[in-house]
Amino acid sequence: MLNMDRLSRSLLYFRLIKELFRYDLMEAALGFQGVRKGLKWRGTVAGAGPSPELEAIACEAVSRAVSCIVPFYWKRVQCLQRSVVTTRVLRAYGAQAETVIGYTLAPLLAHAWVEVSGRVVNDSPEFQRRLQVLDRF
């Protein structure tokens, strides 16, 4: 993992696990629209935000947290949940992150990823090129 002190890394993992559970509670209680509404853009100060290094740390931490929690979690963490959690965490650090949902009809494929300033930060940029954007939030 990139440079981050032990306490900060621990707090980041705690926040990620909390956000994974928060997503499930919101989705169970309010459905997708509730999750989407809970992620409503609150904006950040222009020019503010984390460095690309911190973005990479957060995205790597989400991947690690998801793989660590899998044996204890009651369901598989899909791309939408992972992207919403990543977006919420990046926004907490000041990034202007968006969850993007894309699709293609032939072959049928849907996928979610996170963008910051138009850059895909938690997945392959290939999805951004190959898929039609259905929603951004």
Provide, rounded to the nearest whole percent, the portion of the chain with pLDDT above 90.
50
Average pLDDT estimate for 55-59: 87
Supply the pLDDT for residue 48. Answer: 55
Supply the pLDDT for residue 1. Answer: 44
Supply the pLDDT for residue 49. Answer: 64
pTM: 0.84
| DSSP codes of every residue in 38-87 | HT------TT----HHHHHHHHHHHHHHHHHHGGGSSS---HHHHHHHHH
Whether residue 131 contacts residue 84, with contact meaning beta carbons closer than 8 Å, is answered with no
Indicate if the pLDDT at residue 2 is higher than 60.
Answer: no
Supply the pLDDT for residue 94. Answer: 87
The domain locations on the chain are 6-136
C-alpha torsion angle, residues 88, 92, 96, 102 (rounded to 10): -10
**Tokens 């306490």 — which residue?**
7
pLDDT band at residue 47 using 50, 70 and 90 as cut-offs: low
Listing from the earlier edge strand, what are the strands of the sheet with 97-104?
Answer: 119-120, 109-116, 97-104, 132-136
Averaged pLDDT score across all residues of the chain: 86
Question: Reduced to 3 states, what is the DSSP secondary structure of residue 97?
Answer: strand
Whether residue 103 contacts residue 110, with contact meaning beta carbons closer than 8 Å, is answered with yes
pLDDT digits (tens, 9 = 90+) for 64-120: 877 777 667 667 789 999 999 999 999 988 899 999 999 999 999 999 999 999 999
**Tokens 């138009």 — which residue?**
118
